[in-house]
C-alpha cells in the first residue's frame, strides 16, 4: 500500500502557486485558509498536506476520483474528524480544538452526500431547526408561551418561508421532509444549511440523483445564493457540467493530495488531472 | 371562528383537540361522581389513572420525542412519591390546608426527581447508543433498594433520616420525640399517610403535564430534541448542542414523573418501594408504545384503557393477565396492519398522508 502511494506521489505535478481567488475578492482576506491539513487513520493518510484557500464570495469546486478524500476534507473542515496535521483558519480565526457545533456557529454550514434530513418533521420545521441559533428564547419561555415566544416564532416562520422561496418550496412547508422526492430533499438540505447563517457553505454532491434540467436549475440557484447572501461556497461534485459551469476555482484531489488547482480551463488541460480520471496513456 | 380553525396547522388542531378531550373527560367523570353513578372501585381508580397518564406523557417525552429508551421511569416516580409523602407528612401541622400541602408535595417531588434526573442523565446522555436504557434499568433497582432501607421520621426538631444498610437499625434508632411521626419505615415503606390527593388535583396535573409536553415539543427546544432523534449528525451540523438538549428533555421527563409519583403516593395510606419496580416501568412503557411514540393523545387513551382493562377483567381471576396479554398482542397486530390503518384513516381523517407528525 505504502509503496503504491509513493509511486503515485512521484507522478504529481507541482501545485500551481497562484491563488484561485476571484478578482472581486482579491483585496479581502480569504474566508477559509487550510495549510498543511491532513488526517491519518492508522497508517493511511486519507488527506495529506492540503493547502486550500477560498475567497469571501467564491464558488469553489473540490473534485477527484472516488475515494480521493473529498468528503474527508469536509469532515475535517466541520470537525467531524479532528485533523492530525495542519491548521484551518476560518475568517482568520484558528479552528483547532473546536467541535462541530462550534464550527457551525463560527460560520460553516454543510449538506451531506447521503441526505440527512429530519425525516419525521415537516419541511418548515427542518428549516426552523437550522434557525435554532438565531432564535434565543429559553425552554421555559417556550413552555409558558410568553410574548417573546410568539414574536420569535413568527419571525422564524417568516424567515423559513423566505429561505424556502429560494427553491420555490413554500408550498411544501407542511409536508413531511422524509416524504419529499429526492431532488427536493437535496434542496431542503441546502436551505437548512443556509438557515444557520453561514459565511461558508459546503455542498457535498448537491446534484447527485438530479436530472439534467434539475441540475441546470440547481446551478442557477447556487449562483443566486452566492449573489444574495454574499457567501463562499465550496462544493464536491461529480457532474463536470456543474463544476466547470459555475466554479471559479477548482481543486483536484487524488489519494488525499491536491494534484491541481486552477480555473476550469486550466484544470481541463492539466495532464495530471486527465491521468487521475482516465489513467495514463500507454507509451510508444 | 371557523376561519380561525381553518388557518391553523393540523398539529395545532390536534393539540387543542387533546386538551378539549381531557377537559371533557374530566367534566363527564366529575358529573357522574357527583350524581353517585360511580361505584367505589371506579372512583378509587381515578387518581392512579391521572398519575399514570402523567407518567406515560412524561415517558413519551423521553422515548417518543427524544428517542432514547428509559427502562427506569418508575424510579423517578418512586423518588417523587416518597419525597412527596415526606413533605406532606412533615408539614401536616404547619400547613393544615390539604390543597396547599398537595401542591407543595407535588412541587417537592418534582424538584427531587429532576435532581435525580440530572444525576442519572449527565454522565449517560453524553454517550451514543442504548446506554440510557441500561443505566435507567439499574437506576430503578438502586432507588428501590435505597428506599427499602430508608428510615425517615419527623418531630419538632426537624427531619430525622437514617439508612438501615446493615439491617441493625429500626425506626426506634431515629430517636423521635413523643409527638414524632414515623414517615418511612424501611422495607415496610410509608404507611399511615394522609390521603390528600384528589381527582381534581390529578386532573390539573394531567393538564399541566400535557401543556408542558406539547408546548415544549412545539418550541425551539422541542424541535432541537426531535432533530437529535431524527439525525444526530445533522443536528450537530446545524449547531445544536446534543448533550444539552438531551439532558433538557430527560430532566423535564423525570421532573414530570416525580410530580406524577407524588400524586400517586398521596392517594394511598400505605406505599412501599416495591410498587415502583421494573414491572411498573415496563407497564408505563407499554402505554407509551401502544399509544404511539410521540403521540400524546394516544398515550392518554392507551393508559386509561390499559389501566382499566385488568381491573375490568378481575372477574376472570386467574386468566386475567392472560387476557391482558392477548389484548396487547391484538392491539400491536392491529396497529401494524396497513389495511386496518387505511380503514382507520378513512374514519378519522385527522392525519392526512404527507402531513408531518411532530410530537
Are A254 and A188 in a shared domain? no
Q: SS3 sequence, A19-70?
A: CCCCHHHCCCCCCEEEEEEEEEECCEEEEEEEEEEECCCCEEEEECCCCCCH
What is the DSSP code string of B33-80?
HHTT-S-HHHHHHHHHHHHHHHHHHHHHIIIIIS----S-HHHHHHHH
Are A38 and A82 in a shared domain? yes
**Residue B337: all three cell numbers together:** 396492519
Q: What is the pLDDT of residues A44-83, one digit of tens each?
A: 889 998 999 898 888 999 999 888 889 999 999 999 999 9
Which residue, A146, A169, A197, sits at the end of a domain?
A197
Give me the pLDDT at residue A107, please. Answer: 93
Which residue, A197, A213, A230, sits at the end of a domain?
A197
Q: Which residues contact B318 (CB under 8 A, 6 or more apart)?
A: none
Check whether B353 has a pLDDT greater than 70.
Answer: no
Are A138 and A189 in a shared domain? yes
Strand partners of residue A200: A108, A232
Check whether B132 has a pLDDT greater than 80.
Answer: yes
Interface of A with B in 103-132 (CB under 8 A): 104-105, 109-110, 112, 116-123, 125, 128-130, 132
Domain count, chain A: 2
Are A192 and A271 in a shared domain? no
CATH of the domain at A212: 3.40.50.300
Residue A284 domain-assigned? no
Check whether B202 has a pLDDT greater than 90.
Answer: yes
B contact test, residue of A82, A98, A105, A129 with most B CBs within 10 A: A129
Are A177 and A262 in a shared domain? no
- A105, A118, A137: residue with CB nearest B226: A118
Q: What is the pLDDT of residues B305-346, one digit of tens each?
A: 888 887 777 777 677 778 778 877 887 777 677 777 677 666
The model's confidence at residue B7, banded by pLDDT at 50, 70 and 90, is low
d(CA A121, CA A126): 7
Residue pairs between chains A and B whose CB atoms are closer than 8 Å? 121
Q: Which domain holds residue A246?
A: 2-107+199-278
Are A221 and A189 in a shared domain? no
Interface of A with B in 86-105 (CB under 8 A): 99-101, 104-105
Class of domain B8-347 as given by CATH: mainly alpha
Shortest Cα distance from A165 to chain B (angstroms)?
19
Quickly tell me which residue has 393544615 as its cell: B96
A133 in reach of chain B (CB within 8 A): yes
Are A167 and A38 in a shared domain? no
* Vertex B159 angle, CA B153 and B163, to 5°: 60
Residue A12 domain-assigned? yes
Are A34 and A168 in a shared domain? no
Which residue has better confidence, A282 or B38?
B38
Q: How is chain B split into domains, by residue range?
A: 8-347
**B358/A142 CB distance under 8 A:** no
The secondary element (H helix, E strand) that includes residue A110 is strand A108-110
Provide the 3-class DSSP secondary structure of residue A203. Answer: strand
Q: What is the pLDDT of residues B220-278, one digit of tens each?
A: 999 999 999 999 999 999 999 999 999 999 999 999 999 999 999 999 999 999 999 99
Which residue, A197, A223, A250, sits at the end of a domain?
A197
Are A187 and A223 in a shared domain? no
- A123, A128, A145: residue with CB nearest B223: A128
Residue A112 domain-assigned? no
Are A92 and A65 in a shared domain? yes
Tell which phi-psi region holds residue B354, choosing left (phi > 0), alpha (psi between -120 and 50) or beta.
left
d(CA A238, CA B13): 45
d(CA A110, CA A195): 11
**Residue A208: all three cell numbers together:** 447527485
Question: ipTM strictly over 0.90?
Answer: no
d(CA B282, CA A25): 62
Are A95 and A212 in a shared domain? yes
Residue A129 domain-assigned? yes
Are A169 and A238 in a shared domain? no
**A112/B234 CB distance under 8 A:** yes
Give pLDDT tens digits along chain A (284 positions).
Answer: 333 333 333 333 333 333 445 556 655 678 999 989 999 988 888 999 899 989 888 899 999 988 888 999 999 999 999 999 999 999 889 998 899 999 999 999 999 999 999 999 999 999 999 999 988 899 999 999 999 999 999 999 999 999 999 888 999 999 999 999 988 999 999 999 999 999 999 999 999 888 899 999 999 999 999 988 889 999 999 999 999 999 988 999 998 888 988 888 888 888 888 888 877 766 65
**Residue B166: all three cell numbers together:** 446493615
Amino acid at each position: 500500500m505504502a509503496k503504491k502511494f509513493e509511486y503515485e506521489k512521484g507522478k504529481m505535478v507541482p501545485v500551481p502557486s497562484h491563488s484561485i481567488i476571484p478578482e472581486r475578492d482579491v483585496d479581502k482576506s480569504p474566508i477559509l485558509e487550510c495549510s498543511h491539513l491532513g488526517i491519518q487513520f492508522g497508517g493511511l493518510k486519507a488527506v495529506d498536506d492540503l493547502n486550500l484557500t477560498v475567497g469571501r464570495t467564491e464558488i469553489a469546486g473540490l473534485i477527484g476520483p472516488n475515494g480521493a478524500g473529498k468528503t474527508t476534507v469536509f469532515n475535517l473542515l466541520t470537525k467531524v474528524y479532528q485533523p492530525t496535521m495542519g491548521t484551518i483558519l476560518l475568517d482568520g480565526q484558528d479552528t483547532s480544538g473546536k467541535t462541530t457545533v462550534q464550527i457551525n456557529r463560527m460560520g460553516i454550514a454543510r449538506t451531506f452526500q447521503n441526505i440527512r434530513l429530519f425525516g419525521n418533521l415537516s419541511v418548515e420545521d427542518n428549516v426552523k431547526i437550522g434557525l435554532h441559533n438565531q432564535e434565543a428564547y429559553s425552554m421555559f419561555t417556550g413552555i409558558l408561551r410568553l410574548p417573546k415566544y410568539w414574536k420569535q416564532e413568527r419571525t422564524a416562520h417568516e424567515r423559513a418561508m423566505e429561505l424556502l422561496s429560494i427553491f420555490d418550496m413554500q408550498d411544501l412547508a407542511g409536508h413531511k421532509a422524509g416524504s419529499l422526492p429526492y431532488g427536493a430533499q437535496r434542496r431542503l438540505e441546502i436551505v437548512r444549511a443556509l438557515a444557520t447563517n453561514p459565511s461558508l457553505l459546503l455542498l457535498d454532491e448537491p446534484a447527485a440523483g438530479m436530472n439534467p434540467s434539475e441540475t441546470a436549475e440547481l446551478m442557477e440557484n447556487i449562483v443566486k445564493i452566492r449573489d444574495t447572501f454574499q457567501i463562499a461556497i465550496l462544493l464536491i461534485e461529480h457532474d463536470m457540467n456543474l463544476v466547470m459551469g459555475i466554479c471559479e476555482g477548482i481543486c483536484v484531489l487524488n489519494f488525499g493530495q491536491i494534484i491541481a488547482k486552477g480555473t476550469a480551463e486550466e484544470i481541463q488541460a492539466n495532464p495530471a488531472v486527465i491521468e487521475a480520471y482516465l489513467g495514463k496513456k500507454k507509451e510508444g | 371562528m371557523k376561519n380561525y380553525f381553518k388557518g391553523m396547522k393540523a398539529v395545532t388542531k390536534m393539540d387543542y383537540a387533546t386538551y378539549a378531550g381531557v377537559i371533557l373527560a374530566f367534566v363527564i367523570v366529575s358529573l357522574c361522581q357527583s350524581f353517585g353513578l360511580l361505584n367505589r372501585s371506579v372512583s378509587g381508580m381515578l387518581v392512579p389513572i391521572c398519575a399514570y397518564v402523567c407518567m406515560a406523557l412524561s415517558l413519551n417525552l423521553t422515548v417518543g420525542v427524544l428517542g432514547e429508551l428509559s427502562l427506569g421511569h418508575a424510579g423517578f416516580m418512586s423518588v417523587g412519591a416518597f419525597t412527596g409523602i415526606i413533605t406532606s407528612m412533615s408539614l401536616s401541622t404547619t400547613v393544615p390546608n390539604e390543597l396547599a400541602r398537595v401542591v407543595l408535595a407535588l412541587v417537592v417531588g418534582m424538584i427531587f426527581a429532576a435532581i435525580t434526573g440530572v444525576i442519572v442523565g449527565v454522565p449517560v446522555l453524553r454517550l451514543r447508543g442504548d446506554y440510557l436504557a441500561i443505566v435507567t434499568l439499574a437506576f430503578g433497582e438502586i432507588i428501590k433498594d435505597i428506599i427499602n432501607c430508608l428510615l425517615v421520621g419527623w418531630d419538632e426538631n426537624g427531619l430525622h433520616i437514617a439508612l438501615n444498610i446493615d439491617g441493625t437499625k429500626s425506626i426506634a434508632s431515629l430517636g423521635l420525640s413523643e409527638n414524632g411521626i414515623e414517615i418511612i419505615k424501611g422495607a415496610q415503606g410509608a404507611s399511615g399517610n394522609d390521603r390528600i390527593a384528589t381527582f381534581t388535583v390529578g386532573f390539573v396535573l394531567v393538564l399541566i403535564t400535557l401543556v408542558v409536553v406539547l408546548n415544549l415539543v412545539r418550541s425551539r427546544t422541542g424541535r432541537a430534541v426531535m432533530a437529535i432523534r431524527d439525525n444526530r449528525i445533522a443536528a450537530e451540523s446545524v449547531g445544536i448542542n446534543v448533550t444539552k438538549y438531551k439532558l433538557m428533555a430527560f430532566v423535564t421527563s423525570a421532573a414530570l414523573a416525580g410530580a406524577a409519583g407524588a400524586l400517586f403516593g398521596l392517594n394511598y395510606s400505605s406505599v412501599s418501594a416495591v410498587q415502583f419496580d421494573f414491572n411498573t416501568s415496563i407497564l408505563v412503557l407499554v402505554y407509551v408504545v401502544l399509544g404511539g411514540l410521540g403521540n400524546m393523545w394516544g398515550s392518554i387513551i392507551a393508559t386509561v384503557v390499559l389501566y382499566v382493562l385488568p381491573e375490568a377483567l378481575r372477574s376472570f381471576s386467574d386468566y386475567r393477565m392472560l387476557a391482558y396479554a392477548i389484548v396487547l398482542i391484538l392491539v400491536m397486530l392491529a396497529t401494524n396492519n396497513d389495511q386496518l390503518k387505511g380503514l382507520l384513516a378513512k374514519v378519522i381523517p385527522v392525519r392526512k398522508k404527507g402531513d408531518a407528525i411532530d410530537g
